[in-house]
A and B are shown apart, each in its own frame.
Chain A
Amino acid sequence: MTEGTGISRRAMLVKLGLLLNGIVGAALAVPIVRYLLSPVIREKKIGYESWLSLGGLEQFPTGQTRLATYRNPVVNSWDGETGDIACWVRNVDGQTFQVFAINCAHLGCPVRWFPQSNLFMCPCHGGAYYQDGSRASGPPERGLFQYHYKVEGGKLLIKAGEMPTPGRSGNVKSGGTICA
């Protein structure tokens, strides 16, 4: 065996070794990527949203808008207070409701209800909404996010579990006209 072929044999062994490591690396990358993507993949499998009770209807007088809170359906024990989410409930006429997300449709800051002027106002960039959630002024491109709701056994239930954001209103319908 000449020296030249010896070198090429060793060079080939180096390449083989690199190839082996490449294959193992690729094989390991699959579970790593899956682990990293678990918040995304999970959404497809089980879904984050479920029906939650906001409490008895008596808490929401006709014609008024009240703050309600619920515990997010998907929580861990170390989530603490962050698992408690607020929303605005508007009792339109005793039978029809509107449940608005607390998050401004602009950039997610918590909107406040002002019953005196019948407006929702956002403290961050000055977005304002009418009592039916439709956009009144400011930077938001749309009305407040609304949760689907149903009334069962004298309780108001909403479908929630995901923070509404402008790009993902998913199961959350847009504010504006009242849908019965």
Chain B
Amino acid sequence: MRLIQKLGDWFDLRLQLGTPIRETAEHAVPRETASWFYVFGSAALTCFTLQIVTGILLALIYVPSAGEAWNSLQTLNHGISLGWFIRALHGWGSNFMVAIVLIHMLQVFLFGAYKFPRELTWIIGVFLLLVTLGMAFTGQVLRFDQDAYWGLGIGASIASRVPVIGPWAVNLMLGGPIIAGATLSRFFALHVFVIPGLLIAFVGVHLLMVLKLGINEWPMPGRIVRRATYMQEYHELTHKQGVPFVPNAVWKDIIFSGVILVSIAVCAVHFGPFGPGGQPDPTIIQTAPRPDFFFLWLYALLSFLPPSAETPILLIGPVIGIIILLALPLVAGEGEKSWKRRPIAVLTILLVVVALGTLTHLAQNTPWSPVMDAWSSLPIPPEYLQSRTALERRGALVFQAKQCHNCHSLDDQGGKRGPALDQVALRLNSDQLIRQVIQGGGNMPAYGKNLSPAETTALVAFLRTLHPAGQSPANDASRAVTLGASEVSPRP
């Protein structure tokens, strides 16, 4: 023991780090902040550390070359002892990191931590969120499979819509005219050098400011933040009633970080690594590209925006969102911190969470996409064919053969792009059905050039049978009158 003490003294005399480290560790924090609500920042840092370690381990094997990346991922999964586990840790670590960063942001927002004097801490935090998402996206590209390839295509298509510089932005992003080796190389450089560098720098400043300004005190309803008096009040909170960070608060951070690490490891073992999916061969087109979990909401949004509004919303929306986040502490730097006295803040959070949750949920089902193989793999339910005429059954055949089933469901089977047709005969009479099939409209393609008159007749006859047992199909009441009249007085 004495030897260790001596060694420690030898180093400390030269490094002079012992005192500042001890002072930092034992600095006073407000008593109530030794709370389970204050553990997310340190957990995010723990995740980031795990990402650095596992990332370096992966870089020992991974080949950042468009021709070889996919093969090297296969080697990691199958050829290297426990390579799959390191990949799984890195993949799940990334999911946990994004989630914890978002929870951390939610917590500091609801606790008013962005108010004076911590405005810049929040602003750096917004940058940290952006670079974390940047890591998530570039990381998805490095898993160089079909999803990565077409995800890059989506990115390029969005970039190309920027006015004036769009075409150059695409070439700059892809490193050339197409998605190829240069694209992967530059995303590798971003993911491994540029963005982690920014992340480390921002984390450093962020942490330094938390230490210098002190952790945000527990918000009490009615305790108003004022620039003139806040520093004095905070000083009293920490120095009169405060507790040392180590050990009073830090044990919760340590235990929560440990739980998070265990959770990541359990997910990694249980669910395994992410992909890679199919080979990044653009001539294999039987693929339905999908982004990773945290970009699913955006994927859903892109299918719902009306075409005319899409480009402006895509390009201006993120800018406005980021400006709002950055401006928040400058606009609302004073006042109530407690979420109990900030109903609009709470409602905003609820709105954002519900919107993102709904979009993510929709993106997992993609109801806007045709089910590409419904026409050949999902038969028409037998009860829709029983006791039907030959013509109606012929129409059911047309329904399958012309791939109507890809967009329209019967008995909840098939595409959700168009309306379900189980009761279509109640909504449309036969003339309306013929018009809809031939001319399309309301987001349905026109099939006029694609169906013979006989096929149309058969199809409409089948659709006319789609109504509940006790209800008769829609009819044009004037039709009988008009036809009757024409029979009485035939055209000359």
Decide if B368 is an interface residue (CB 8 Å cutoff).
yes
Question: Of all chain A residues, which has the CB nearest B176?
Answer: A39
Tier of interface size on chain B: 35 or more
| B302 adjacent to A139 (CB under 8 Å) | yes
Per the CB 8 Å criterion, the residue count for chain A at the interface is 59
| A82 adjacent to B403 (CB under 8 Å) | no
- A167 to chain B: which residues have CB within 8 Å? 157, 159-162, 166-167, 170
Given A82-B179, A85-B283, A141-B310, A39:B171 Cβ within 8 A: yes
- A76 to chain B: which residues have CB within 8 Å? 180-182
A11-19, A23-31, A101-109, A146-154 - the one binding chain B: A101-109
Given A67-B285, A80-B67, A166-B160, A74:B181 Cβ within 8 A: no
How far is it, in angstroms, between the C-alpha of A138 and the C-alpha of B166 when the chains are bound? 23
Given A110-B287, A112-B285, A82:B178 Cβ within 8 A: yes
- A85 to chain B: which residues have CB within 8 Å? 178, 282-283
Partner of A161, one of B167, B177, B310: B177
Question: Of all chain B residues, which has the CB nearest A85?
Answer: B282
How far is it, in angstroms, between the C-alpha of A163 and the C-alpha of B387 when the chains are bound? 53
Instruction: Determine how close the nearest CB of chain B comes to the CB of A98; give it in whole angstroms.
Output: 15
Partner of A72, one of B180, B288, B443, B446: B180
- B68 to chain A: which residues have CB within 8 Å? 78, 80
| B342-381 at interface with A (beta carbon < 8 Å) | 368-370, 372, 375
| A105-123 at interface with B (beta carbon < 8 Å) | 106-112, 114, 116-119, 121-123
- B150 to chain A: which residues have CB within 8 Å? 108-110, 124
| A74 adjacent to B177 (CB under 8 Å) | yes
- A114 to chain B: which residues have CB within 8 Å? 403, 406
| A125 adjacent to B285 (CB under 8 Å) | no
| B401 adjacent to A163 (CB under 8 Å) | no
Decide if B286 is an interface residue (CB 8 Å cutoff).
yes
Given A108-B150, A125-B368, A168-B166, A40:B177 Cβ within 8 A: no
Decide if A4 is an interface residue (CB 8 Å cutoff).
no
How far is it, in angstroms, between the C-alpha of A108 and the C-alpha of B174 when the chains are bound? 14
Instruction: Determine how close the nearest CB of chain A comes to the CB of B184; give it in whole angstroms.
Output: 8
Partner of B178, one of A77, A109, A162: A162
How far is it, in angstroms, between the C-alpha of A123 and the C-alpha of B170 when the chains are bound? 23
| B283 adjacent to A69 (CB under 8 Å) | yes
Decide if B214 is an interface residue (CB 8 Å cutoff).
no
Decide if A64 is an interface residue (CB 8 Å cutoff).
no
Partner of B182, one of A36, A39, A107: A39
Partner of A80, one of B153, B154, B181: B181
Decide if A175 is an interface residue (CB 8 Å cutoff).
no
| A165 adjacent to B170 (CB under 8 Å) | yes
How far is it, in angstroms, between the C-alpha of A45 and the C-alpha of B295 when the chains are bound? 37
Instruction: Determine how close the nearest CB of chain B comes to the CB of A33; give it in whole angstroms.
Output: 12
Instruction: Determine how close the nearest CB of chain B comes to the CB of A112; give it in whole angstroms.
Output: 6
| A123 adjacent to B289 (CB under 8 Å) | yes
| A118 adjacent to B449 (CB under 8 Å) | yes
Decide if B457 is an interface residue (CB 8 Å cutoff).
no
| A39 adjacent to B172 (CB under 8 Å) | yes
How far is it, in angstroms, between the C-alpha of A114 and the C-alpha of B176 when the chains are bound? 32
Partner of A163, one of B162, B178, B182, B372: B178
Decide if B489 is an interface residue (CB 8 Å cutoff).
no
How far is it, in angstroms, between the C-alpha of A168 and the C-alpha of B285 when the chains are bound? 22
| A102 adjacent to B177 (CB under 8 Å) | no
| A165 adjacent to B444 (CB under 8 Å) | no
How far is it, in angstroms, between the C-alpha of A87 and the C-alpha of B156 when the chains are bound? 18
Decide if A60 is an interface residue (CB 8 Å cutoff).
no
Closest 9 CB pairs of A and B: A80-B67, A167-B160, A167-B166, A108-B153, A136-B445, A165-B160, A168-B167, A125-B303, A48-B177
Please name 20 further chain A to chain B contacts, defined as beta carbons within 8 Å, in addition to the given A109-B154, A167-B159, sorted by A numbering. A43-B168, A69-B283, A80-B280, A82-B66, A82-B67, A82-B179, A82-B180, A83-B180, A84-B283, A112-B285, A114-B403, A116-B401, A125-B299, A125-B369, A126-B303, A126-B369, A137-B445, A161-B178, A162-B178, A165-B167
A interface residue numbers (CB < 8 A to B): 36-37, 39-40, 43, 48-49, 67, 69, 72, 74-86, 102-103, 106-112, 114, 116-119, 121-126, 128, 130, 136-141, 161-163, 165-168, 170
Can you report 20 A-B residue pairs in the complex whose CB atoms are below 8 A from each other?
A: A43-B168, A48-B176, A76-B181, A81-B67, A81-B281, A82-B67, A102-B282, A107-B158, A116-B402, A117-B402, A124-B150, A124-B154, A124-B289, A124-B299, A125-B303, A162-B177, A165-B156, A167-B157, A167-B166, A167-B167
